[in-house]
């Protein structure tokens, strides 16, 4: 949506949607590919959300290869350390 309609229209649409959902008790999270948008666009959009999560991947065999990190989650308790994602056998 951001690429098609631009920051101003996307921000307005998301602000209206999140306001409606938050009023109904939903917690709103954002997952955005940081490589697809400028840092200014990302920061403008991410501030609209209650939460932000990040998925990371490394090739280092001594580290967890895939991790989930909760960067923020407004008014909720959450694990501050990265969570290692492993494949179930």
pLDDT, residue 1, reads: 56
CATH number, domain containing residue 64 = 3.40.50.300
Q: What is the percent of the chain where pLDDT is above 70? A: 93
**Higher-confidence position of 24 and 47:** 24
The reported pTM is: 0.63
Task: Give me the pLDDT at residue 24, please.
Answer: 94
Spatial contact of 53 and 29, defined as CB atoms under 8 Å apart: yes
Q: pLDDT tier at 2 (50, 70, 90 boundaries)?
A: low
What is the domain count for the chain? 1
Q: What does the pLDDT look like over 41-70, one tens digit per residue?
A: 888 888 888 888 888 888 888 888 899 999
Q: Report d(CA 27, CA 32) in Å as an integer.
A: 16
Domain residue limits at 50: 2-85
């Amino acid at each position: 949506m951001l690429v098609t309609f631009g920051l101003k229209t996307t921000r307005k649409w998301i602000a209206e949607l999140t306001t409606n959902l938050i009023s109904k008790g939903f917690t709103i999270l954002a997952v955005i590919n940081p490589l697809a948008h400028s840092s200014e666009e990302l920061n403008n959009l991410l501030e609209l959300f209650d939460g932000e999560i990040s998925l990371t991947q490394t090739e280092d065999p001594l580290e967890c290869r895939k991790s989930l990190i909760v960067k923020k989650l407004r008014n909720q308790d959450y694990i501050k350390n990265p969570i290692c994602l492993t494949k179930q056998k």
